[in-house]
């Protein structure tokens, strides 16, 4: 399981650089940091810690000046969350956040009144703007949750917070590129309905 990061600026178009998982920083924080009970040794768990997060760029306890961001993308984390664990209520401000659910179910609740559970292949986005609080959990009793989360710097600070999602069943991207995200001000393609201030 590696990751591909687009590398733009070439006259022949974009290319990709594969970053092997062995080169990614691995974070396994204490469960109490996010409001979780102690880790359990259960046959349904696929990791000994409640969270295994692979960081592509400097984030939290990882600081690498050679991997601080990619253009406006400042976070790209590959998170594995064990059953009935998650991230308790926390706040964001001035960040455009996109999350792709690789496997399992992600339950989101926020201060805008949104509450939903998304399955594999689904995408959610949140413009934190002037400030929003939310939680993200894997409420399934047996299955792990894996998702890729990306944070982008917004074009403007203090925009009105916004949330939206796309059900994975409605996205036809088998063996082809599919534009999931575009600019809220236009000029970036269809974006699959996800519009960011970027």
Nearest to 26 by CA among 81, 74, 67, 77: 77
Question: 154 CB contacts (<8 Å, ≥6 apart)?
Answer: 94, 95, 96, 127, 129, 196, 197, 198
Tens-level pLDDT at each residue, the chain (198 residues): 455 444 333 334 556 677 788 999 999 999 999 999 999 999 999 999 999 999 999 999 999 998 999 889 999 999 999 999 999 999 999 999 999 999 999 999 999 999 999 999 999 999 999 999 999 999 999 999 999 999 999 999 999 999 999 988 777 777 888 778 888 887 555 556 788 898
Dihedral pair phi/psi, residue 192, rounded to 5°? 60, 20
**How far apart (Å, rounded) are the C-alpha atoms in residues 18 and 104?**
24
pTM for the full predicted model = 0.88
- Distance of alpha carbon 182 from its chain centroid, rounded? 16
pLDDT of residue 1: 42
Residue 194: its pLDDT value, please?
84
pLDDT at 18: 78
- Output the CA torsion sign for 94, 148, 48, 144: positive
């Amino acid at each position: 399981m590696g990751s591909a990061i687009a590398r733009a600026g070439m006259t022949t178009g974009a290319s990709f650089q594969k970053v092997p998982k062995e080169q990614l920083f691995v974070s396994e924080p204490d469960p109490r940091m996010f409001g979780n009970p102690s880790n359990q040794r259960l046959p349904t768990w696929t990791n000994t810690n409640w969270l295994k997060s692979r960081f592509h760029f400097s984030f939290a306890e990882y600081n690498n000046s050679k991997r601080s961001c990619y253009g406006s993308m400042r976070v790209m984390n590959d998170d594995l969350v064990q059953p009935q664990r998650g991230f308790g209520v926390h706040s964001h401000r001035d960040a455009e956040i996109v999350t792709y659910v690789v496997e399992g179910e992600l339950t989101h609740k926020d201060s805008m009144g949104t509450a939903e559970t998304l399955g594999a292949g689904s995408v959610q986005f949140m413009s934190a703007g002037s400030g929003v609080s939310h939680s993200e959990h894997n409420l399934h009793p047996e299955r792990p949750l894996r998702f890729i989360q990306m944070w982008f710097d917004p074009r403007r600070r203090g925009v009105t917070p916004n949330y939206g999602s796309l059900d994975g069943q409605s996205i036809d991207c088998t063996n082809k590129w599919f534009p999931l995200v575009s600019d809220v001000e236009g000029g970036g393609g269809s974006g699959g309905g996800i519009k960011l201030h970027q």
